[in-house]
Structures are given as structure tokens and as C-alpha cells.
Structure 1
Amino acid sequence: MELFVRLSGLLVVLLLGAGFRATGLLDAGRTARLNAVAYYVALPALIFVSTYDRAIGELLSLTLLGGLLFVLFATVGLAWLVHRNRASVGRRSVAVVQSYHSNLGYLGLPLVAATFNAEVTATASVVLGVVTLIQLPLSILLLSTLNGADAALGHELRGLAKNPVLGSLIAGLAVGSLGLTVPGPAATGLDLLGSIALPLALLCVGASLEVDLPSIDIGATGAVIGLKIFCMPALAWAVFSVLAVDAATFTAAVVMLGTPTAVSTFVFAVELGGDEEFASLNVFATTLVSMLTLFVLITLVN
């Protein structure tokens, strides 16, 4: 019951973000500033406090890495098979990318931190780092190749080196691996900053969602939902069960890969010639459906 109330609260915050955008309270400028606070302050703080007291060897293993790679690329392959015959190239490229590109940072890690213990949250931070390093350049490459757009892939890859999420992960793991200590007041302050990551992120996601009802392609959007929200976490469940990983690794991997399509895929679609309206609809639809499926996933792994 507590979990249901918590996820219902998350849905309310998400819808509040959409409502604030509709009424003008969260215009583009205010949303951008909230995004900056969430992305450059709250989320890095959450990642750092989740990992600074743990060595990298405790969290990252070849089994975890191999399982994540298998699930990600298996989902990419399935997405290509399902969407390969879409009439529009722009829609096909977006459908493939949005069937695997997970919202790990804005929704996944903050949700895990609010729901599970420190061990699961630390592992989820590593899942975030590993999958982001793969799915971000892969999505840019697919969209630019299929749509014939100039992706400036080198620029995007250089941007990864300045990514605050990855930087805070590396810093936290370095502190933990070297056995350094973080002063209590600093740790407490970072913990408080990290606690606002989820509500801020949900407001920003809600304020970014736009849906044009006449443009809905039920079949294509349904396929994206099926692959991203149902198939990917089910595949993760099967793979990590076979790999017989510990409970924290299993929980972190399944829940993180069960998150909806990332909002950033809409931005990539705009920049790289994808179907913008279709991309926006899929972000909205997968986010809405995931409120129910994440409740089921978290209940099952618990």
C-alpha cells in the first residue's frame, strides 16, 4: 500500500508539471532552470552519496556488465525487427531508439533511491553510468544514420566527458575505492540535495510532455510501449536470473531497465530529423504506463 501511495504521488507530480506548463507557470525558461538544478546539482549529489563509501569492485562486475550489454543490444535488435517496415523513416528511427533508450537518470535512479536501500541505490548508480555510456552515442548514431542527418557524433562524445552524472559517479567510486572519508556535514548536505532529484525531475518531465491527439499512431506507439515497458524489463529479469546475481544487482538492473523512454530522445529526434510529434507522444505514453508497471516490478522484486 505504501508503494502504491508513493508511485501515485509521483504520477501527481508528473501531471502537475504538465499542468504548470499548460497554465504558463512552467514556461520554457523556468523549465530549463529547473532542469539545470536537477541535472547539475540534485542528481550528481544523489549519485555521489550513493557511491562514495563503496569500492568499484563491490559494485561493478563482469556479470553485471555482460548482462546489461546483452539486454540492451537484444532489445535494440528486437526493436529493429518490429519497426523495420514503418513507412516513414523519421518515425522508424524514433520508434527503434525509443524502444530501448531508458530514463535512467531523471526517473530510474531517484525512484530506486526513494524505494530501496543504499546497496541497491549504489548498484543502480553504476547501471546508470554503464548504460548511459552505451545508449547515448548509439541513439545519436542510429537517428543520424537512418535520417541522413549530421549528428556531430564526436561533439556528443566529447560532451560525455563533461557529463555531471558520469563525473559524480566516477568521483564517488574513486573516493570509495581509495578509502577516503567525506565530512559528515558535507555528506548530510549532499544527501538533502539528492532527495529533491526525483520531484524536480518529474516536474521537468511533465512540463516537457506534449501530445497531439490527432497524430497518434496506436500501432507504432503500442509497439514502443510493449518493447520498452514490458519486453526490456522481462528480458532483464530472465537474463539476471540466469546469471544468478545477488539481490541488489538483480533489483537495480530490472527496475532501472523497466523505466520509460527518456525525454532526451525527443530532443535528439528534433535535432536529427526524427518524427517530433511521434517522439513526444511516446515519451508521454511510456511514462504514464510505467507508473503502473514500475509498481508491479518493485512489488515483485521486493
Structure 2
Amino acid sequence: MTESLFAIIPLFTLIGLGYLARRTILDSSMLPALNLFVYYFAVPALLFNAARRQSLDDLFNAPALAAFVLGIILTATVAILGSRYFFQCKTPTELVMRALNSVFANYAYMGIPLTFSLLGESAATISIILAGNLLVIGGAQLCLEALRQHSMSLQQVWASLDRSLLRSPIFLATVFGLLASGFGLTLPQVMNTTLDMLAPAAIPVALFCLGASLQFRQIQTSLGELGWLIGVKLLVHPTLTYLACYLLGVTDPAWLVASVLLTALPTGALVHVVAMRYALFEQASSQIVVFSTLISILTVSFWVNLML
């Protein structure tokens, strides 16, 4: 237990330092620039480097990926049924947003720092993050578009994927890293040195920005539903993923640990971006991101101790 706590305390300490700095010495105009640096430069460099060092064969583990997807489906179903029958939410688009809050994790700002710190540049982490972005964010937006328009053409599907994934530097950096690995590409030394300088900044700056971005506002959403969706995200999702891994015979420790820890993370801020874009569940999504991040100090510690 002590070793597990010591492994993650520095991560949450960086989040705390970011929160403290935002309220003391960090000018609010500086935060967007720091976030842009993390999102467009540091994290993509880290993921590109990690992906190109992996063998493509190591990135595909059918039972583990199937368990990850099954965990998403089961968790989304639990969230939808609970919101529908306990909190009387019956609008399909609203239910999709609640499901998205319950299954999309903070891969970029917490998942990468946590799993890379504990497991190293694991192929499992890269593969699961890629699948999570593709299936959860891409899938949710396709569902929302289809529900709003009652049908979707191929052009509309492409436009939705373009907005949600194909312009994402994190997604593209991972894909380009995999292509570099697959084709055995060797970069010029200047590029290697630049990437090696950028990549180490990703973890501390990402966590610092996450802390600086936390904002507490008056809660207007039902506390019951807020607590329900946070509980589903932090407890039900990793539990169902763990059970899915057990049922599908996932035995590789790296894949098992990465799958559970990445699903145990708090709701990712990208959910709020989707909520604002579709004008659905906006304030509640923002609050779920903030409070799930705070509560995850305890729950992530529990899952780290359990898995390691």
C-alpha cells in the first residue's frame, strides 16, 4: 500500500501545485498557452516517441481490447439505465451525454502520466488510449449526430470523425508513431533530439495545467445524479473492466493493469467540450470533471494498490 501511494502522490502533488499557482502567482492569461503547449506539443511528442518504439504485434491484444470495449458498453448501459429510471432522464441525446461522462477518462492529462510512471512506455497504454479516443469520443459524437438528424450519410460520418479525431494532435501523433514503427522509419537526429526534449515536459506540465484548470462553481445539477455518474465512472467502470478481463482470460499483467487503471481515471475534460458543442448537459459535465478528479485521489490510490 505504501509503495503504491508513494508512486502516485507526486502526480497529485503536481495537480495541487497547479491549483495553488492558479490562485496565487499564475496569471489567468498564461493558462491557455500552457494548455496549448501540452496538447499540441508535449503530449503528442511523448506519444509519438512511445508509439514508434513499440512493435505493432505488441499493440494488439484481442482479449484485452475486447474486455476494454465490453467494459465501456456495460458501464454506459448502467449509467443510462440509472439516469433513466432513477433520475427520470428520457431524452436519448441527454442519455448519450450521461453515458459519455461515465466512460470517457482523462487519458491525456492523467492516464499518460499515471501509467507511464507506473508501467513505463507500455504498448498496452498506447493501444487502449487510441481505442478509447476512437470508440468513446468518436462513437458518442456519431450517436449524437444520428439522433439529431435521424440518419447519417457517409459524408456526415466523415465530418464528425474529422472534428473529433482527425484534427486531434494526440490521436494523430499516436497514429504517426505507429506508422513510423510499422515502416521502420528513422528520423533525422535533429528531430529525435527535439522530440526527446519535448516529451519529458508532458507529464509534469499536463498535471500542473490540470490543477490550474480546476474551478469550483455552485452546483446546480442534482447531487444525487452527480454522485451517481461519478460513482459509475470511478468505481463501476474499472470494476466491470476488471471482470471483463477475467471473463475473457486476459492474463498479461501489463494489459490487465493498464486496462483497469485507465478506466479508473476521472472523467476527461473533452467530455465538457462535446457537451458545449451540442449544448447538452454542459454545466453538469464540467462539475463531473472537477469533482471526479478530486475524488479520484482516493479511488485511483485504491485501484493502484489493488492492481500493483
Q: TM-score range by the shorter chain?
A: 0.7 to 0.9
User: Aligned partners of 1:9 and 1:2: how far apart in 2?
Assistant: 12
Alignment of structure 1 residues 201-280 onto 2, 5 Å: 201-215=206-220, 217-245=222-250, 246-280=252-286
- Encode CA deviations 1:61-104: one digit per residue, 9 max, x unaligned: 32233222211111111111011143565875543321111111
Unaligned 5+ segments in structure 2 are 150-155
Q: Is the 8 A contact 1:99 1:261 kept in 2?
A: yes
Quote the residue 1:130 is aligned against: 131
Equivalenced residues, count: 298
Q: Is the 8 A contact 2:4 2:301 kept in 1?
A: yes
Q: CA deviation at 1:7?
A: 2.5
User: Aligned partners of 2:278 and 2:56: how far apart in 1?
Assistant: 36
Q: CA RMSD for the aligned pairs?
A: 2.9
Quote the residue 1:10 is aligned against: 11
1:174 aligns with 2:174: no
Unaligned 5+ segments in structure 1 are none
Normalised to the residue count of structure 1, the TM-score between the two structures is 0.86
Quote the residue 1:59 is aligned against: 59
Q: 2:102 aligns with which of 99, 103, 124?
A: 99
Summarize the Cα distance change of 1:219–1:31 in structure 2 as closer, same or farther, 3 Å threshold.
same
Normalised to the residue count of structure 2, the TM-score between the two structures is 0.85
Q: 1:165 aligns with which of 160, 164, 170?
A: 170
Q: CA deviation at 1:112?
A: 0.7
User: Aligned partners of 1:20 and 1:275: how far apart in 2?
Assistant: 29
Q: CA deviation at 1:5?
A: 3.4
Q: Is the 8 A contact 2:275 2:282 kept in 1?
A: yes
AA in 1 matched with 2:287:
L
Q: CA deviation at 1:15?
A: 3.1
Summarize the Cα distance change of 1:7–1:26 in structure 2 as closer, same or farther, 3 Å threshold.
farther
Q: Is the 8 A contact 1:143 1:269 kept in 2?
A: no
Quote the residue 1:199 is aligned against: 204
* Residue aligned with 2:268, SS: coil
Q: CA deviation at 1:50?
A: 1.5
AA in 2 matched with 1:158:
D
Q: Is the 8 A contact 1:266 1:276 kept in 2?
A: yes
Summarize the Cα distance change of 1:214–1:4 in structure 2 as closer, same or farther, 3 Å threshold.
same
Identity %: 27
Q: CA deviation at 1:3?
A: 3.7
